[in-house]
Amino acid sequence: MIIITFGTFDLIHIGHINILEKAKKLGDKLIVGISSDNFSYKKKNKYPIYNEKNRKKILENIKFVDEVFIEESFEQKRDYILQYNANILVMGSDWENKFDEFNDICKVIYFDRTPSISTTDIIEIIKNQ
């Protein structure tokens, strides 16, 4: 089974590790599409702290992750899923139902987010210290 997931994965935290661990348990190979710096900016109106090259290298060194590529846009998501022959698409519950359109080419699973942590929260906490 090939699993695919997407996200910015900036300032890696326990919520990221938990979803990657759960995703990997569903199959044999976990592929992660990390949002390019420009795509992240479009989604969140701010650039990630770590650039795409460094975020990719960090993700590649997490033991649950087998392959990482850079995701350039929402529009290409269907092509990425097909290109990587993914059987299951995993996303966090903040995306609940948002990717159901891909149920025709793979199984779509949403995992509950790890409570009380996000990259945005970490940045705010550090800023306010």
- DSSP string over 95-120: GTTTTGGGGGTSEEEEEPPPTT--HH
C-beta of 110: minimal distance to ligand CTP in Å? 8
Question: Which residues touch 18 (CB under 8 Å, ≥6 apart)?
Answer: 114
Chain residue whose CB lies nearest ligand CTP: 92
Least Å distance, CB 71 to ligand CTP, is 11
With CB under 6 A as the contact rule, the residue among 3, 4, 9, 88 that binds ligand CTP is 9
16 binds ligand CTP (CB under 6 A): yes
Window 40 to 69, contacts with ligand CTP (CB under 6 A): 44
- Tell me if 114 contacts ligand CTP by CB under 6 A: yes
**Total interface residues for ligand CTP by CB under 6 A:** 16
| Rounded distance between C-alpha atoms, residue 41 and residue 26, angstroms | 30
Told to check if 118 binds ligand CTP by CB under 6 A, we report yes
Nearest Cα neighbor of 109 from 7, 23, 35 is: 23
- Residue 64 sits at the vertex; the CA angle it makes with 86 and 119, to the nearest 5 degrees, is 95
Distance between CA atoms of residues 10 and 58, nearest Å: 10
Q: Which of 2, 4, 19, 81 binds ligand CTP (CB under 6 A)?
A: 19
94 near ligand CTP, judged by CB under 6 A: yes
Residues 6+ apart with CB under 8 A from 50: 10, 11, 58
> Which residues are at the interface with ligand CTP (CB under 6 A)?
7-9, 15-16, 19, 44, 91-92, 94, 113-114, 117-120
